[in-house]
Chain A
Amino acid sequence: MAFQPVVSIRFDIPNASHIDVYEQHGGYQAARKAFGMEPAAIIEEVKTSGLRGRGGAGFPAGMKWGFIPKDNPKPKYLVVNADESEPGTFKDRKIIERDPHSLVEGCIIASYAVGAHACYIYIRGEFNQQRINLEDAIKQAYAKGYLGDNVLGTGYKLNIYTHRGAGAYICGEETGLLESLEGKKGQPRLKPPFPATHGVFQCPTVVNNVETIATVPWIIQHGGATYASMGTEKAKGTRLMCVSGHVNKPGVYEIEMGIPMKTFIEEHAGGVWKGRKLKAVIPGGSSCPILTAEEAEKVTMDPEAIAALGSMAGSGGMIVIDDETCMVDLLEDLLHFYAHESCGQCTPCREGTDWLYKIIRRLEAGQGTEEELDSVLDIADNMEGKTICALAAAATMPTRSYIKKFRSEFVAHLEHRGCPKKKQPALV
């Protein structure tokens, strides 16, 4: 089937965040349809659609819902991850700004499918205006009987609560989010057990990204097979891409999975700015290993193709980098972020992220040594896969790729005693 927008269909409709406008454009029809279905049939439909999590890991959504144990007497919960903290990613913000009811409707369907009567939307603290927008939408949905003790007159009870984060990157990690939601310090949990059995308040919990949930109403309305007819063999449907950096038209664009990255950068994003050349692309958020211009020009935008180049499609946060950029400077910036955001719980990440940052900072400032540069890869190896969550890997994977693919620039910093792109070399 030809590409048609799924998540962004109402982005350009004025006042689509008001429930009346949303309803005029087909809103809440999917929820009505869902309540006429068996929960298992909904999960089956989502499985058919091939919808994969849009938060970064890309886990099949239907399968995740299927992990919720049926025979567990504890209450079940749906938790929506609206923490959107991956640098370069700002699509969930747009959904909540422009079409919050698609998220609310998705929450209704997903909650019904997994048997949840309470749904928590954990929203990034900085998204204050967006939170107000979302809470307005939730209020409207209550007023119209889409939420509350008697959803759509079916007798099904569902309450949605919003919970503001306090600005920690790690609270985007699902178990860190659950800890924070419970009022504790946001630190990832040891796994197993997994949230499907021991989630929020130690009860069975589904944690999904905003975009994932906002896609569900369309799938229910149009059928999983319709959704699956778009995209590639393994990556079905569409996704929102955020593009920022050195492009003429940064923003959020919905694309069909598998279109060429070159087309996306040149057509959707308006090409590299200021007439400069493409140097590199961070394909899906700052945690993804970087692609060189050559790689970016031949790859297609689906997780498998990007994975084949050793990177990840991630959360769809593309950052385009022009040829005036110093990669050491960029890596320093990036590592500063991860060092700042490491929760400090486990040893390799707590100590390693800051160590890497300091080494690259020294290099950029002209104080680095060859031994230090060589040690970076070994330190990264001591961190990656040795930690409680993936934050350490989110710092080390890009680090490796920057040094591997742009090593000459790092070496130039050694030889030049600082950044060659800066006018004066740093004094040692």
Chain B
Amino acid sequence: MAKITLNGREVDVPDGVNLIQAAETVGVTIPHYCYHPGLPIDGNCRMCLVEIDGARGPQISCNTFVKDGMVVHTDTPAVEKMRKGVQEFLLLNHPIDCPICDQAGECRLQDYYMEYGQYQNRSMVEKVEKNKVVDLGPLVVLDQERCILCSRCVRFCESVTKTGELVIAGRGDHSRIETFPGKKLDNPYSGNVVDVCPVGALTSKDFRFKQRVWFLTITKSICTGCANGCATFVDHRDGTSYRYRPRHNPLVNNYWMCDEGRLSYHALNEDRLVSAMTGGEKQPIGLAMDAVVAKIKVAMKDFGPDSVAFVGSAHASVEANYVMKRLATEVVGTKNVWGVTLTPDGHADDFLIKADKTPNRRAFKLLGLNEDADALKRELSGGKIKVLVALDRNDLAGEGGSEWADLLNKVPDTIYFATHIDDWAPMATVTLPVATHVEQYGTYIQAKGVLQKVMKAYDADGDAVPSYEALGSLARALGTEFEYDDVEQVWTHLREAYPDQLGGLSFYGIPEHGHSLAVPALATP
């Protein structure tokens, strides 16, 4: 820790950080455009100028690192004038087209004008004209006139993806962002430039003009596109998700996420199953549940508990898989508890994209579910399984091909907890609608063994409920006491069941950046 004097107040701040970060730790905001903690320092916007005793003139906070005894002023009339001056310069050639700008509501130019600007326009000179609606690549559109040339996007492509598609061309006030001739901004992480852009210059083709951001509610979630489980914000309104944005998590994704994952939110809104089905026909949820209970009871009575099999899902939460395991072992008493996923490996890179396209395969390891697909195949072909219960987005039918389809068809009754109308939903004897990860509280364990929680953004439509709730109702109907309709209830039991791995955490006690499970087996080989 270093001792500095900030606006006359002596404070302790961490060593080795710059003044923006240091001030933030004690609740003082130093405005800035070009500085981004995930990018190299460039010092070009000049918004973070502050006064430091003994320094030659004002200094930029982003490139000034704390030293013991430093005396810093961020609230003097001189600093206020500098900020106002920079704000005025930045808006001098800006079109001020906020009413038609997608960034409005989350724009630093707007925010800082209100906070630090508030001057009367005194410019009588014509504005510099530049290009608008420049198509940079598959995901990103550029408005050069709105750009403040902070170079965050350029630095992102230089230092994070190392693809270098973007450049500031030209000089003086004719400087503008461009791609190199013949190049497109089409790297797998291009969408991040929209997030780092502090103004309306770079907008997302996917999101622009869909929603005004002030109508959106922001909920902390994760991306379920692959095993990396990038921390995200899901921005939603009235039960519809409109975008993912990466959320800072140094253990998982730093500040970034891939384009494929970014667009995967679309699936949260499309082809959803919201009512129960039997034999491919809609059915009231109550009747469907009664049918499920009856089928399990009959099988248990006629063929013994082992005739009921449960298959977890690498796409379902830890909670869903856990409650399933408890129901299977404690209520039904079957030995047939599986954690099999057939999702094939896909494209991977050395940054965020993982070959494993399931978000929670490691939950099987934590819970000790049987992952042997061949053994499950043998069990199914033996004909002893009469009822098979499968969790959310289970891929046995979808990915297993005709071989698995035949096996599943041999089982007299299949009960499928489906989020979407996928390959299996119409085939199963009874299909029960369940919530997606943004419609429930829960946790997922990503590739490096970091357990992250997702918060509920909105309630699922129709009859869909979180799987652990549905499983809880099933357990109750089968005549047991335990029932789960709150994630914290699940966690009361989870942390008792896995004290070493979960370290006695409660759901709400899981840290912001997740909890690294101390289980070697969970680490990615």
Contacts and interface: CB of A to CB of B under 8 A. Distances in A.
Interface of A: 168, 185, 190, 339-348, 350-355, 358-359, 362, 369, 371-372, 375, 379, 381-383, 385-388
Given A341-B172, A343-B172, A385 B148 contact: no
Interface string B39-75: 0011111110100000001101001000000000000
B89 interface: yes
Contact of B172 (A350, A385, A388): A350
Contacts of A342: 171-173
Given A339-B173, A371-B122, A385 B58 contact: yes
B198 to A, nearest CB: 13
B86 A347 contact: yes
Contacts of B122: 371-372, 375
Nearest to B56: A385
Given A362-B124, A375-B122, A351 B82 contact: no
B524 interface: no
Contacts of B509: none
Given A342-B173, A359-B125, A387-B46, A351 B89 contact: yes
A362 B44 contact: no
B171 A351 contact: no
11 contacts: A339-B172, A343-B171, A344-B173, A345-B44, A348-B89, A350-B149, A350-B172, A350-B175, A372-B122, A386-B58, A386-B82
Interface string B245-263: 0000000000000000000
Contacts of A351: 89-90, 92-93, 173
Interface residues of B, number: 37
A348 B86 contact: yes
Interface-central residue, B44, B148, B170, by most chain A CB under 10 Å: B44
A383 B82 CA distance: 9
A341 B42 CA distance: 20
Nearest to A356: B125
A347 B44 contact: yes
A388 B173 contact: no
A382 B172 contact: no
A383 B149 CA distance: 17
B82 A344 contact: no
B124 A372 contact: yes
Interface of B: 41-47, 49, 57-58, 60, 63, 81-82, 84-86, 88-90, 92-93, 122-126, 128, 148-149, 168, 170-175
Per CB-CB distance, the 9 closest pairs between chain A and chain B, nearest first, are: A382-B85, A344-B175, A351-B89, A358-B125, A342-B172, A354-B173, A385-B57, A190-B43, A346-B44
Contacts of A185: 168
A346 B92 CA distance: 14
Contacts of A341: 171-172
Given A350-B175, A369-B124, A388-B44, 9 more contacts: A347-B46, A347-B149, A350-B149, A354-B172, A372-B124, A375-B122, A381-B85, A382-B82, A386-B46
A298 B357 CA distance: 81
Contact of B41 (A190, A372, A379): A190
B119 to A, nearest CB: 11
A81 to B, nearest CB: 20
A352 B82 CA distance: 13
B440 to A, nearest CB: 46
A166 B84 CA distance: 35
A346 B122 CA distance: 21
Contacts of A348: 46, 85-86, 89
Contacts of A387: 46
Contact of B173 (A350, A362, A369, A371): A350
A60 to B, nearest CB: 18
Given A348-B85, A348-B89, A190 B171 contact: no
A341 to B, nearest CB: 7
A168 B170 CA distance: 12
B145 to A, nearest CB: 13
Nearest to A357: B125
Contacts of B49: 386
Contacts of B171: 168, 340-344
A199 B224 CA distance: 46
Contacts of A346: 43-46
A362 B148 contact: no
Contacts of B47: 347
A160 B49 CA distance: 40
Contacts of B149: 344-345, 347, 350
Nearest to A191: B63
Among B46, B49, B149, the one with the most A-chain Cβ atoms within 10 Å of its Cβ is B46
A320 B175 CA distance: 34
B140 to A, nearest CB: 22
Contacts of A340: 171-172
Contacts of B174: 344
Nearest to B126: A358
A291 to B, nearest CB: 25
Contact of A382 (B81, B148, B168): B81
Contacts of A362: 124-125
Nearest to B170: A344
A341 B174 CA distance: 11
Nearest to A340: B172
Given A347-B45, A382-B88, A386-B46, A355 B63 contact: no
A387 B46 CA distance: 7
Which among B49, B85, B90, B172 has the highest number of chain A CB atoms within 10 Å? Answer: B172
B63 A190 contact: yes
A285 B86 CA distance: 28
B238 to A, nearest CB: 40
A36 B43 CA distance: 46
B174 to A, nearest CB: 7
